[in-house]
Structure 1
Amino acid sequence: MDSTNSTEVAHDHSPFLKIYKDGRVERITGTEIAPPSLDPQTGVESKDAVISPETGVSARLYIPKTTQKKLPLLVYFHGGGFCIETAFSPQYHNYLNALVGEANVVAVSVDYRRAPEHPLPIAFDDSWAALKWVASHADEWLKSHADLERVFFSGDSAGANIAHQMALRVGAEGLAGVKLQGVALVHPYFWGKDPIGAESVEPEKRAMVDNLWRFTCPATSGCDDPYINPATDPKLGSLGCGRVLVCVAEKDLLKDRGFYYRELLEKSGWGGAAEVVVAPGEDHVFHLLNPVNENSVALQKRIVSFINQGVP
């Protein structure tokens, strides 16, 4: 083998990752790991669990300080373009600590396998396997503290796409023993062949999003694939919950897709209630990058309110 292959870049997907000609994958960001802990600020305790020894799919579980009664369960899917970050990344660990502490819920943060080593739809299949694991009460924390009649899905960016796909699958196939109440999608990674809204004046950014999708899902039919464009999915009306919260950021290229998603749901015959909330002056996943700013705090409170609506 030519030794230069180890240093020559075959595909550059900065700022996410690079692939070298020898096949090596270098993730530029999202590689740090935070251990599970008892968080001193929130009192939230976390631990890790292996879901499938065969595939390596795992999760980080969180329980709040107050667990005298069974609590709603939040299943979270991390973002990162389907190719970077993990459920154990410091920014996700800190985010879940804060969210679980304020919402007083049990949480399962899913660590699915990522592209390019494991191209889509593997992440969707892994996430479904994680949900079946949750439904089986495989972990003592879930058995003792989680109310599976009050389950919510959430995620950011690519993770929001996964949350949507999982809600569709619950609607189509059911998930025995689990009642999905709602889905909170933060800056969801939806796309399409034809630009909408502000996308038409951002050709370079559009090209980057197009390329990222085709890179993570090489078998795709294109940017109108139902996996990335809900407008082309005939199953959209079967979304398996009654409430959806879509959170968008004013400066995010993906924001118009969030508004469009609500319109699509309303026209699909779904019959639930969908709401869009906007963070003014903010960009994609701002709340993870600066969790203490005013808009980040407001976003968290809105998600907490969405989860706790109707909770006695």
Structure 2
Amino acid sequence: MSEQKTPSADPYAYLNMVRNPDGSVTRLLNNLPCAAATPDPSPQNPAVSKDVPVNQSKSTWLRLYVPSSAVIDGVSSKKLPVVVYYHGGGFVICSVDLQLFHDFCSEMARELNAVVVSPSYRLAPEHRLPAAYEDGTEALEWIKNSDDEWIKSYADLSNVYLMGTSAGGNLAYNVGLRSVDSVSELSPLQIRGFILHHSFFGAKERCESEIKLANDQVCPPAVTDVMWDLCLPIGVDRDHEYSNPTVGDGSENLEKFGRLGWKVMSIGGELDPMIDRQRDVAKLMRKKGVDVAEQYIDGAVHGAEIKDASKRKNMFVSIASFISSSAQ
């Protein structure tokens, strides 16, 4: 997102978009650079990576990351946990290969000593929800069935975590809801837990943190209003279960999370307007019997660790501890 535009004054301009009279959008040239995959397993690269198609009819694909150290050391009998990471962007912008996400996933693969799989998904309003959820679920099927050499050599499919930032956190949560009744069908892939990072949730009425941070310069309610308007099914409001997990039938499936032993880590920033939403969802999950660990960081804005590499180290230490405890 551009740092030069005031988000609340013109949310579409801030998102580098123009809304057309017919309701479609035109995405302008994004000022955020993209990064190519890094297949070279040199010590200078935190991880090797490559791009793999998932569903050519939908133009979906994923970027696969393996720690360079694992490749340099050779195939080990001890395989690595798998983190399926969904990128952010309010379901309307961004892509897997943005430099920000590429660097984040490369560093995460190294710091967690994990295989990271970052799937693409179709964007709204061209493809409104639940299209992204369908694509996110299809990526799990790809992992389960894959003959890819990196998956076969390095990935422990019995130790899988769904993670996402912002809209990706919402996506990870909803892919989990869609997976609770098909656990046996996903075998040998086994979900162990979720890492919800600055998750993108909303509701019709403003919460206290949204009111307090209405003029936030990173992701204020005026911007998220536009995102929800573009990504939710036509004719529904922000109290739909896709945006507000505390209503509707989706919350009932959370009891199955607990019964399956799936654990959840909720990470957020105290200066994120959505912080109260994230706390409410964590509270609901705990009420439904889910084991939830919460970590909300003073002074952190929405998506802080994506944009600022200096903020990642402590978070990755916490995630590594969460994965270690969840695998037991």
State TM-score, norm by structure 1: 0.88
Are the counterparts in 2 of residues 12 and 18 from structure 1 also a CA contact under 8 Å?
no
SS of 2:200 mapped into structure 1: coil
User: Counterpart of 2:13?
Assistant: 14
SS of 2:181 mapped into structure 1: helix
User: Counterpart of 1:308?
Assistant: 324
> Which sections of structure 2, spanning at least 5 residues, go unmatched?
1-9
Question: RCO (CA 8 Å, sep 6+): is it higher in 1 or 2?
Answer: 2
Instruction: Judge which range, 138-147 or 156-165, deviates more.
Output: 138-147
> Which sections of structure 1, spanning at least 5 residues, go unmatched?
1-10
State yes or no: 1:219 paired with 2:219: no
Are the counterparts in 1 of residues 214 and 221 from structure 2 also a CA contact under 8 Å?
yes
Superposed counterparts of 1:31-180, under 5 Å: 32-37=33-38, 38=40, 40-64=43-67, 65-66=69-70, 67-68=75-76, 69-174=78-183, 175-180=186-191
- For residue 265 of structure 2, what is the amino acid of its counterpart? L
- For residue 244 of structure 1, what is the amino acid of its counterpart? V
Count of residues in Structure 1 that have an aligned counterpart in Structure 2: 298
| Gap change, CA 1:214 and 1:104, over 3 Å in 2 | same
SS of 2:14 mapped into structure 1: coil
Aligned mates of 1:217, 1:28 — CA distance in 2: 24
Tell me how far 1:262 sits from its aligned partner: 1.3
Aligned mates of 2:178, 2:254 — CA distance in 1: 10
Identity of aligned residues (%): 30
User: Counterpart of 1:297?
Assistant: 313
| Gap change, CA 1:289 and 1:43, over 3 Å in 2 | closer
Aligned mates of 1:246, 1:89 — CA distance in 2: 24
The Cα RMSD (Å) is: 2.2
Which one of 285, 295, 299 corresponds to residue 277 of structure 1?
295
The CA deviation string for residues 131-170 of structure 1, in whole angstroms up to 9 with x for no partner, is 1111112422112211110001101000000000111112
Tell me how far 1:208 sits from its aligned partner: 3.4
Which one of 179, 186, 198 corresponds to residue 187 of structure 1?
198
The CA deviation string for residues 193-238 of structure 1, in whole angstroms up to 9 with x for no partner, is 2333322345574343233202112425211111111101332322
- For residue 191 of structure 1, what is the amino acid of its counterpart? G
User: Counterpart of 1:255?
Assistant: 275
User: Counterpart of 1:8?
Assistant: none
Aligned mates of 1:278, 1:299 — CA distance in 2: 11
